[in-house]
Amino acid sequence: MAGVTSILSRDRGMRLRVQVLVVPFVYLDLASRSITEYRKGYFLDINVPVDYGIRMYIRDEKDILNPMFVPLITEDLSNLPQAIVVTAEFDPLRDQGEAYAKRLMESGVSTLSFRVNGMVHGFIGSPNVSRLVTVMVGSALKDILTRG
């Protein structure tokens, strides 16, 4: 949602300073390595064609190719707010999140991207790891927001 909000804000003339995406859903690439390897048994199970978690956000399966649902396929990612993208090693959505970060960088968007090794999609519920990631993201946000 943060990615799409950033795109919509840019397109409507609103200026956001930063977008933060933690284990984001930005595209459903069923051929990606992370979905192939981690689609079952790593906290977030991905069922084809579309599982219940995804159905909560779409009207029908055609929306899977709608850039307002999957920002990775948005044609123009330039002039978006700075980004912080956090992925998890054993997350089926990892490759797509990292591809989004790469596309942002290629589009000239200042982007901090990091992978939390050894973690699954829902790692943010793990107190120790979650605290460390929160401190890292918070420090980057503080730096971005205080630079003026």
DSSP the chain: -HHHHHHHHHHTT---SEEEEES------TTSHHHHHHSSSSSS---SS--HHHHTT-SSGGGGG-TTT-GGG-S--TTPPEEEEEEETT-TTHHHHHHHHHHHHHTT--EEEEEETT--GGGGGSHHHHHHHHHHHHHHHHHHHH--
- Report the topology of domain 1-147: Rossmann fold (3.40.50)
Q: How confident is the model at residue 47 (pLDDT cuts 50, 70, 90)?
A: low
Q: pTM higher than 0.85, yes or no?
A: yes
Q: Between these two residues, 122 and 59, which has the higher pLDDT value?
A: 122
User: In whole numbers, what is the pLDDT of the chain averaged over residues?
Assistant: 89
Show me where the domains of the chain are located.
1-147
For residue 44, pLDDT beyond 80: no
